[in-house]
Amino acid sequence: MKQYPISRDAWCYLAILASLIVLAYWVWPWLIILPGILFLFILFFFRNPERDISTDELMLVSPADGVVMDVERVFEDQFLERESIRVRIFLSIFNVHVNRSPMAGEVVFRAYRPGQMIPAFKSHASELNEKNYVGIQNKHSQILVTQVTGFIARRIVCWVNKGDNVVKGERYGLIKFGSCSEIFVPTNVAIMVSPGDKVRGGVSVIGRVSAE
């Protein structure tokens, strides 16, 4: 999928706001302030920067920009179906909201669950909120990444489907206006982040898969 500096999901909002700016200017120039501010905010929120991605096949990179909320062992029952390590990342409205694949591989699992809109930083948001699951597999490992909506977020966008191949750091979707992203990995992955760490999607190393 072709990528642009501003995600295509913003284009409809920008077109509407641009029309409102033109209309407001003809009615009374000062009226352009509010739609103008919203126009700039949408440009900022939907920014889609290029990133330098590590080529090390055993390194798993962050699926999102944000702050690591917790790292814990859980039983993942959607795809991995075994004890796993979950790294949960909170995205504020100031973070880049494009999600990236932590590793190269084939999308072998995809599921969606409707849900509530609890603030994404709450510990129980993952269990109750709207959520999208993407399972990726390669010769080294299997992982699951999720997109979880938050209090403001109202729509999950996912650009990949089961059977697609992704490269490490490839953009696979976004969540609009505040959210949470999770990565579930096998217990043989050495986690390299801690709660409170700031991470960048496609750049920050979440963990390293054991070569054994």
Amino acid at 202: G
Report the alpha-carbon distance of residue 44 to residue 129 in Å, rounded. 25
- Asked whether the beta carbons of 164 and 106 are under 8 A apart, the reply is yes
Ramachandran area for residue 13 (φ above 0: left; ψ -120 to 50: alpha; else beta)? alpha
* H-state helical runs in the chain: 11-27, 33-45, 125-128
Catalytic residue among 179, 181, 204, 210: 179
**Is residue 126 annotated as a catalytic residue, yes or no?**
no
Contacts with 102 (C-beta within 8 Å, 6 or more apart), sequence order: 60, 61, 62, 63, 136, 143, 145, 168, 183, 206
Report the alpha-carbon distance of residue 209 to residue 189 in Å, rounded. 4
The values of phi and psi at residue 175, to 5°, are -125, 135
- Asked whether the beta carbons of 168 and 145 are under 8 A apart, the reply is no
Could you give the C-alpha distances from 162 to 109, 111, 158, in angstroms and in order? 6, 9, 11
Catalytic residues: 179
